[in-house]
Each structure stands twice: as C-alpha cells, then as structure tokens.
Chains A and B, each alone.
Chain A
Amino acid sequence: MQKRNILLLGIALVLAIIIAVLVIPRLDSPKETDVKTSEETEQVADYVPPLEFSLLPEFSFSNLADQPYGSGELKNTVWLANFIFEGEDDSDYSILDGMHEMANDLQSFVTWNDISLVSLGTSEAFSSLDLSKYQEKSSTPWVFLKGTQDEIISLGNEGFKFGIKKEGTSIIHPHKIALIDRNMILRGYYDPTNPEEVKYLMEDIRYVLRKHPHKIAVPEDVINPGWLDERQADQISALKNSGVFHDFSFEDRLEESNITWRHQIVDDSGINYKACHYDHGNGVVVADVNGDNLLDIFFLTQLGSNQLWQNTGDGKFENITDLSPDLEIRDAVSVAASFADIDNDGDPDLFVTTVLEGNRLFENNGDGTFKDITAASGLGYKGHSSGTSFFDFNNDGLLDLFVSNVGIYTTGKIVDQITDHPDNPLQNGTFKFHEAFSDAFAGHIKPERTEQSILYRNEGGNRFTDVSEEMKLVDKSWTGDTSPCDLNKDGWMDLYVTNMQGDDHYYENQKGEYFTEKTKEIFPNTPWGAMGIAIFDFENDQNMDIFLTDMHSDMGNTYDLHEEKMKKTADYSEALLANSSPHFGNAFFKNSGNGTFTEISDVIGAENLWPWGLSSGDLNGDGYEDAFLASSMNYPYRYGANSLLLNEGGQKFLDSEFVVGVEPRKNKETASWWYNQDTLVTVGDSQVKREVWGALGSRSSVIFDIENDGDLDIVTSEFNNPPLVLVSNLSEQKTDLNYLKISLEGTASNKDGLGAIIKIKAGNDYFTKMYNGKSGYLSQSLYPVYFGLGDHKEVEFIEIKWPSGKTQTIRENISINSEMKIVEE
C-alpha cells in the first residue's frame, strides 16, 4: 500500500510537471482582439465628386413678384437651375415635373434650407405655364426668374455653357438641370427624367452641401450637420406630453435691434487654434446706465472694441461707446465685467478684467458716461483675471470684490494680429495679445503657473485693498468665475468658486471676519471643469440650489448626439486629475435645507454638451426658474446647440430650445467664417483663398426684459460672431401672464441690494430669489428681479432680507404685472 502511494505520488509529480510545462505557457498565449491595424482600417472612397465647370457671372432678373432677384440672393446657396423658353413642347413640363419630384426627395436629407430651385425664362414662357402647382406643393424654395430672351440665352451660354441656339422662332436647349454650389460654381448637368442621373444628382448635392472648393468646413459636417430636424421633432414630441407651458417662442431680432457689434477672437482660438483659456470668450452684462428705466448692454470682446449699447426702447439699441471711449479697451484682451454701484451714488459703475494688461474700473458720471478711475482704485491688477463678483462680505454697505485669476496660461510672448473679418470692417485693425501656452490645460499640474485669486475690500472713496490673506480666502484654483451666496442663511455672503481644472471650492463667511473653506464637508464631489454657475430655488422650497455647467469634462471623450444628456465619463489620467475627486459633467446640487446637497443633474435633465455659461430666469412665467446654457465649443469641433431648459414644476428640466425658437438658429445656421488660409485655389478662371468655416457657439448670456413688455428675453455673447438677441413673445402669447419685477435700493445695505433674499408669498406658494447679480458666465449685471407668478393674480406679501440684516415685509400696494421699486427701510 505504501509503495503504491509512493508510486502514485511519483506519477502525480511527473504529471504535474508535464501539465505545468504544457499548460502554463498556453495561459500566456495571447487572445485575439478586435483591434485592427492601421492598414485594415483604411477605407477606399468610391464616390467621385462633381467637377468644377465654371464660375457663374453676376446676374439680376425679376422674380414673379417683379422684385429684383439674382446672384446676390443666391449667394451661399446650393441651387438647381433649368431654362424655360416660350413655344416649347411638353419637355419643359417634364423638366419642371422632374424638379418638382426631386424637391420632395431633397427634404429627406437637406436640413439646412440653403438649397433652392431656380427656373430661368422669359415672361412669355412662364405665363404660358401653370406654375402654381410647383410653387404650392414644393417644400423647397422655388424661384422663377424672368428676363428678356437675349438675357436668358446669354446667361445660359456664358454662365451655364448650355449651348442654347435660336433656330427661327424656336429655341434649342438641353433639357437638363444644372447644379450650382455655394460659391456660384457650376458643378454638373443632370436629366431629371433619368432615374440614374437623379441618383447621381442627389449624391452630388449631398457633396456640395458639405464640400466647397474654397470653403472648408471643419469638421466636415459642421455646415449641414443633419440632426437639427430630428432633434426638433423629438423635443416637440416630448414637450407635447408635459405640463410645462411652452406655447411661446423667441426670435433672433439682432437686425431689428440695430446692434451691429461683433465679437472677435485672438488667433490662438482661430487660425492657430490651441486648447487654451482664450476659448472661454467673454461675458455680456446689462444695467440701466443712464437712469431711463431701460437696460443697456455692454459687450466685451477679445480684439477690437468693447461696446456700450443704449437701450432706446421697443427693442432698439444705439451704440454710445464713443461717449466713453475708455470702455473700448482696444489695448487688451477683455474677459469679464461687472456692473455695480461701488460708491452708492445711485448709478452703476463698471469693472472689466483683461489678460495681463491691467483690470479697469470705470466710474459712472451719472449720465451713462464712464471715466477710468483704475489708477487710484487699487484694482489695476495685471494677470490672467477672469470672472468678477461684487458682494458685501462684511455687510458694511460697501460692495467688496472677488476677482478670479485663472492661472498663468500665457507664455510671455506678445503677438501681433491683424483682423480682417469681411463683415466687420469697423472692428478690424492691428492688435496685440499674449500668446497662450499650447499645454494651457495642463497648467494646474505645473505649480509654477499658479495665480492666486484676489478678495478686495471696498474701503470707501472708490479705493480697494487686497484682503485675501487677512480674510483667509486664499484660492489658487484655476477658477473662471464665482458666485456669492448665503447658503447657510446666516446673513453673511459665502462664496462658491468654480474651478475649471479640478475641484471647486466653497468658502463660508464667518460673520465678515474671515472665510473658512468647507468644500469637502458640503460638496465632496464637484464637477472637474466647472464654468458657469447659477444659484436659484429650483422647486420653490425656499432653499437655494446650485446649478453648475462643466465644459472641460466634455473634452475628455467624444460624445455622440444621443449621449449629450447622459452623465459624462471623461477619461482623464490621474496626473491630469491631480488629486481631485470629481464627478464629470454638469452638476445640480439640490439643497435639502439642512446644510446638505445632493447632486441630481442627470436625474432632472440638467446635462448637455459643451456648456459654458449659465443664466436663469422664469422664461415662461410659470413661477419656476428656467435655465439657458450658452453652449458649443466652436472651431474646430462640431456644432453644439444652446440649451433652454424649462422647469417642469420643480421636478425636472425639459429640453425646449428647438421648441421655443432658440434652436435651430436663424436660417438653420450652425457655422460661420473662421479664417482664410494663405493658400490659393483655382476656381474656374480665377484664384481664390480657402475659407475655413467653424461651428457657431455661445459663451455667456444675460436674461432680462429688453422692451419692458413683461417677459424675459435673452442676449448672448457669441464667440467670434455677432450676439443673439432672442426676443420672447411670451407676453403676447400668454394672455394670463402674471409677473412682478422688483428693483431694490439699499440704504443701510449697498445701494444695489446685492445679496438680498426676496421672498414672495402668493396663495399657498412661495417664490424665493437671491439677488447676487450673477447674470451669466463672466458676467454680473444689475437688473430688476423678475418673478413669474404662475396663476397667482395677487401677492400676499413680499419679504426682503437685506444684507444689512434688516428684514422688510411689504403687504400693501403690490401691483402685479409691473415693476416695483423697494427702498430699504
């Protein structure tokens, strides 16, 4: 038995060694994966793009309404053309019928309405045909252009190379359709009655909509992204089943407003694109600078002139910058601005930050003109300053100031830039800016690039002192903006500091004596790349909630359209995260009322793609605060829609931008000219520069009542483009709109009343707002606080908790649907 066991042991040992030798190396054998080599992933394009035949000459004829119409109107449009002459046979009809049939097919993939059908002919030819059936049924714009026979033949032969011949009284011409691209270049001829040729035509249309011989779209589908209609249909369908009021709309009335201002970027965000902090753009702020009870707008730019536009009523504005030329700041790249009455003299003063060229303080002369008082103020810090917040941290009745300094994101080299925007001659010129680091978004892991933000105390007499260390508010994060707030309701304004590269910071005000950081206790996980912040009462429970937008998380991965509303999962390395403990994407911190906050952004629909700024306001007047998220990353990324989130009864936000006219933008535009390449390309007989087009995008916004008609409008700060002036028709559409606007005037408190908590009781509902002036990213404005009242036609009382500590309650003479001025008593 023993021997047998020894034998078995020996066999086991041998077997084990054999198994070990045979099996273990197999464990190491590699598994097949799905990764393909670069050779295998290469794709062969089998589509041959249409040729460039010739550049059409300029022409002008008349349309059927006898108005001039020609190449000017068709510029930037892809169009199909055919020719009709009198005395022809039925083949003319066959061309028109073919075009008509195609017009319906075009709707399946043409989402930017820049494709037109054009029939060129003589009056006689058109009068002999029944054109109404084509015009009525076609969902693609169809223009009939009339000219004399000789004019039409001349254009047909010289421009279209149609080889039209007169033979006696009849005219011989090919019964073909011509395709013309946005650059007026003839790209091909097609027989609309031949299905094979129609198929090619459809492919070619798709191609020229996206490709242009000297217009390069970056990325390729940025001009005609193809998803706007689908998004619109989805939103309409989703809102149909909701209880939220959405039967109103915004219209971009930039042209009607007379505003001709245009934002201009530095080349570090254009032709020399680098991922750096210049792409954060600028704020836009409003205040009634001249006391006429209309809110005026101050636009900021990187290059060119900042401009002050006076509101002249009825939605019109007038540029009054030349009355205060110092405001232009053409010697620096401006970033952010705050309107605030720093000397309590009853008019809004203005503070502007710049990149390394000194921040500027302007005192209002009392009539809407401003003078530069930086030198004596102590606020002329030169650094990488960003958003600013005036708030009275020590409740002495004077507005103090916190200036966010991002960090050192420039190399020290100054660059000259000549701007030559074709649509912006008045803003063109030669400017200087500080070149950005190409690794600016790694700045936070390089300690030598740290730049501390500054808390200034207002000492009176328009003088400020840096008290950051004294007040123990030493913030070295890469912050773009802040929001003052009294989250613990002790009557002292605390400060939430957003960090665009790491954890945010929350500083609690200890009775004006010093600040204590309480981030980890109260906000253990904040967004990693926070931009905008809005603090408001989401569900009308009298507690202030915090909504934060996070753009930098969106750069960690590529997100598809269907992923925009999901929680983000940025793939950032430990090195880049640098000991932060973030969550990615937007954050919505719901205030439980007991000092704790819960993050519920994806639960309530507060996520979106590439958000920058955030503004809140009751846009539909239902008593619940809505939000506008200024979004999109611009060149060289894809177009991202601005978000308008309607608050459904404090339960969730509903995506509404495609329902209420914010999206798609006018003419479904998604892209604009970005820069010209130096290289020349041959088009027809001429040589032209290549134009690079990039996505449109907003950076900041301000929600206020432009025309004092009782509803809230939106003005944006666009990146490298003119602003959007989105005027609401709510006051006309909602016949039972109930609202109340409250403007504050502090006496013991600061004159603006910044920091006041306003509570309204109407019926059994409470509406609470904290007035801190933070109107959008990089922006602080002074405006009446707007309360939508829902169905309530009467207000029981208004309670104001002033920064001075006083509580004032008003129960009488409250007229809704008006603006009410409340002076601190």
Chain B
Amino acid sequence: MTIKINSSGWSKWIFLFILIEICILSFLLFKDFIFKKSLQIQFAGENSNWIFKYPGLDNQFGSEDDVIIYKVEDLHLPEKTKVSMVLTSYDKLYCLKIPELEQTEVAVPNMEFKLSFDTRKRKQLSLIAGDMCGPDQSSLNRAIIIEDEEKYEKWLRTKSE
C-alpha cells in the first residue's frame, strides 16, 4: 500500500501530528522518571511548635539516620517527589494551610491526617498556622525550600549529624 502525499502541506501536518504524539509518549515515558521518588514526613504539633520527622537518606522510619527537627527553621524537600506529610498533635488542635496548594489540614491528638502533594513545578511552599491555634502563632509558620536532590541530601546530612 502506498501513501501518496502530493503537497508539502500534508507533510507539515504529519510532522506536527507525529511531534505531538511523540511528545505525549515521551511525557508518559518520562513521567515515571519524574515521579519515581516518594517521601513521607511525619510531623506533630506540640507547645505551639512543630516537630518534623524525616526518614533520612534510607527513606525508612525507625532507622538510625532519621532526622527530627524541633527548631523553628525552614524545611527542605527534594524536587520532583511525591510528598506525603502525616500530621498529628501531642496536645491541642492545630489548623494549618499551604496557601500555594490551597490545602488545609488539622493536627489532632490521637488522629492522623495526610497532606499529599508533589514538589514538581515548585521552588518554595509555606506552612501557615490558622487562627484556631491562637492569635499569634508565627512560630508555627514555616517556609519549605524545594531543591535538587543533591542539595536536599546535603541538607539532610547536616541535620542527621
């Protein structure tokens, strides 16, 4: 069977069509690479502060390299990662939001709630405490820095030392 294409206009259309097809296929192919990582972080409210727990470089909780952050400081997350933040509280009710993602959640003693998002297309996010936690809870507010794997691991190493 022979396909006859007599004008250069057809060629352009085919070119474009294939290009789009390839782009879609490539995206689907690359998607697995882009999202190949996932990360769970646990955090809890206590005394109007957050306690964050990272699984460390081995991505396993309960191992020696787990990182616990008590201090009020910026958090770091690796880029292109599916992040699941598991949230609880050791004392009162906390309300928080991530305005960039339009997500809100509560931290409640003896209960766990999840905030899930991916870090693709993001460089920074922020955790903002709601008024339910009290009128001035700036100590609960955090900036989340999203950076490449290398920088993130470097940061994680400094925290586990």
Could you list which residues of chain A lie within 8 angstroms of chain B, going by C-beta atoms?
1-2, 5, 8-9, 12-13, 15-17, 19-21, 23-25, 27-33, 35-39, 219, 273-275, 438-442, 445-446, 554-558, 571-573, 575-576, 636-638
Does B92 contact A28, Cβ atoms closer than 8 Å?
Answer: no
Does A275 contact B92, Cβ atoms closer than 8 Å?
Answer: yes
Does A438 contact B92, Cβ atoms closer than 8 Å?
Answer: yes
Q: Which of B27, B126, B131 contacts A20 (CB 8 A)?
A: B27
Residues of chain B within 8 A of A9, CB atoms compared: 14, 18
Does B123 contact A30, Cβ atoms closer than 8 Å?
Answer: yes
Does A441 contact B26, Cβ atoms closer than 8 Å?
Answer: no
Residues of chain B within 8 A of A636, CB atoms compared: 134-136
Residues facing A in B96-146 (CB within 8 A) are 97, 100, 104-106, 108-111, 113, 120-126, 130-136, 141-143, 145-146
Does A638 contact B135, Cβ atoms closer than 8 Å?
Answer: yes
**6 interchain residue pairs of minimum CB distance:** A20-B26, A16-B22, A438-B92, A30-B123, A439-B93, A35-B124
Q: Pick out which of these stretches binds chain A: B2-10, B49-57, B58-66, B152-160.
A: B2-10
Given contacts A24-B26, A275-B134, A555-B132, is CB(A8)–CB(B15) below 8 Å? yes
Residues of chain A within 8 A of B141, CB atoms compared: 38
Q: Which of A1, A24, A30 contacts B122 (CB 8 A)?
A: A30
Residues of chain A within 8 A of B89, CB atoms compared: 439
Shortest C-beta distance, B132 to chain A (Å), equals 5
Shortest C-beta distance, B106 to chain A (Å), equals 5
Residues of chain B within 8 A of A21, CB atoms compared: 26
Residues of chain A within 8 A of B97, CB atoms compared: 571
Residues of chain B within 8 A of A20, CB atoms compared: 22-23, 26-27, 30
Contact with A along B21-32 (1 / 0, CB 8 A): 111001100100
How far apart are the CA atoms of A572 and B113 in the complex, in Å? 13
Does A637 contact B105, Cβ atoms closer than 8 Å?
Answer: no
Does B93 contact A38, Cβ atoms closer than 8 Å?
Answer: no
Does A38 contact B74, Cβ atoms closer than 8 Å?
Answer: yes
Shortest C-beta distance, B81 to chain A (Å), equals 11
Residues of chain B within 8 A of A32, CB atoms compared: 123
Size bracket, chain B contacts: 35 or more
How far apart are the CA atoms of A344 and B28 in the complex, in Å? 79
Interface centre among B6, B79, B89, B131 (most CB of A within 10 A): B131
Given contacts A35-B143, A275-B92, is CB(A30)–CB(B106) below 8 Å? no
Does B108 contact A2, Cβ atoms closer than 8 Å?
Answer: no
Residues of chain B within 8 A of A23, CB atoms compared: 23
Given contacts A9-B14, A20-B27, A636-B135, is CB(A438)–CB(B91) below 8 Å? yes
Decide yes or no whether B34 CB sits under 8 A from chain A. Answer: yes
Does A30 contact B121, Cβ atoms closer than 8 Å?
Answer: yes
Closest-by-CB residue of B relative to A440 is: B93
Residues of chain B within 8 A of A572, CB atoms compared: 95, 104, 106, 130
Closest-by-CB residue of B relative to A572 is: B104
Residues of chain B within 8 A of A573, CB atoms compared: 95, 104-106, 113
How far apart are the CA atoms of A252 and B14 in the complex, in Å? 84
Closest-by-CB residue of A relative to B125 is: A35
Shortest C-beta distance, A769 to chain B (Å), equals 37
How far apart are the CA atoms of A12 and B25 in the complex, in Å? 14
How far apart are the CA atoms of A5 and B7 in the complex, in Å? 11
Closest-by-CB residue of A relative to B27 is: A24
Q: Which of B5, B18, B93 contacts A442 (CB 8 A)?
A: B93
Residues of chain A within 8 A of B19, CB atoms compared: 12, 15-16, 19
Q: Which of B72, B92, B131 contacts A558 (CB 8 A)?
A: B131
Shortest C-beta distance, B69 to chain A (Å), equals 13
Residues of chain A within 8 A of B149, CB atoms compared: none
Q: List 10 A-B contacts (CB under 8 A).
A: A5-B5, A12-B22, A13-B22, A16-B18, A16-B19, A17-B26, A20-B23, A37-B143, A439-B108, A558-B131
12 A-B pairs besides A275-B133, A575-B105 with CB distance below 8 A are A8-B15, A20-B26, A20-B27, A24-B30, A30-B122, A38-B72, A38-B143, A439-B108, A442-B93, A571-B95, A572-B95, A575-B106
Residues of chain A within 8 A of B73, CB atoms compared: 38
Residues of chain B within 8 A of A27, CB atoms compared: 121
How far apart are the CA atoms of A274 and B93 in the complex, in Å? 9
Does A36 contact B95, Cβ atoms closer than 8 Å?
Answer: no
Does B93 contact A28, Cβ atoms closer than 8 Å?
Answer: no
Does A556 contact B131, Cβ atoms closer than 8 Å?
Answer: yes
Residues of chain B within 8 A of A442, CB atoms compared: 93, 106, 108, 111
Shortest C-beta distance, B38 to chain A (Å), equals 16
Closest-by-CB residue of A relative to B6 is: A1
Residues of chain A within 8 A of B105, CB atoms compared: 573, 575
How far apart are the CA atoms of A274 and B100 in the complex, in Å? 29
Residues of chain B within 8 A of A275, CB atoms compared: 92-93, 132-134
Q: Which of A30, A273, A571 contacts B130 (CB 8 A)?
A: A571
Does A36 contact B143, Cβ atoms closer than 8 Å?
Answer: yes
How far apart are the CA atoms of A446 and B109 in the complex, in Å? 10
Residues of chain B within 8 A of A35, CB atoms compared: 100, 124-126, 143
Closest-by-CB residue of B relative to A23 is: B23
How far apart are the CA atoms of A192 and B102 in the complex, in Å? 54
How far apart are the CA atoms of A417 and B4 in the complex, in Å? 95
Contact with A along B62-91 (1 / 0, CB 8 A): 000000000011100001100000000101
Closest-by-CB residue of A relative to B25 is: A20
Does A33 contact B124, Cβ atoms closer than 8 Å?
Answer: yes
Does B135 contact A16, Cβ atoms closer than 8 Å?
Answer: no
Does A31 contact B18, Cβ atoms closer than 8 Å?
Answer: no
Residues of chain B within 8 A of A30, CB atoms compared: 79, 121-123, 146
Does A38 contact B142, Cβ atoms closer than 8 Å?
Answer: yes
How far apart are the CA atoms of A422 and B143 in the complex, in Å? 44
Does A637 contact B30, Cβ atoms closer than 8 Å?
Answer: no
Shortest C-beta distance, A8 to chain B (Å), equals 5
How far apart are the CA atoms of A573 and B91 in the complex, in Å? 19
Given contacts A20-B30, A275-B93, is CB(A575)–CB(B113) below 8 Å? yes
How far apart are the CA atoms of A37 and B74 in the complex, in Å? 7
Q: Which of B4, B125, B130 contacts A556 (CB 8 A)?
A: B130
Shortest C-beta distance, A448 to chain B (Å), equals 10
Closest-by-CB residue of A relative to B31 is: A24
Q: Which of A37, A557, A637, A638 contacts B145 (CB 8 A)?
A: A37
Residues of chain B within 8 A of A637, CB atoms compared: 135
Shortest C-beta distance, A531 to chain B (Å), equals 16
Given contacts A28-B80, A30-B121, A33-B100, is CB(A441)–CB(B134) below 8 Å? no
Closest-by-CB residue of B relative to A30 is: B123
Does B135 contact A219, Cβ atoms closer than 8 Å?
Answer: yes
Does B14 contact A8, Cβ atoms closer than 8 Å?
Answer: yes
Q: Which of B23, B30, B130 contacts A16 (CB 8 A)?
A: B23
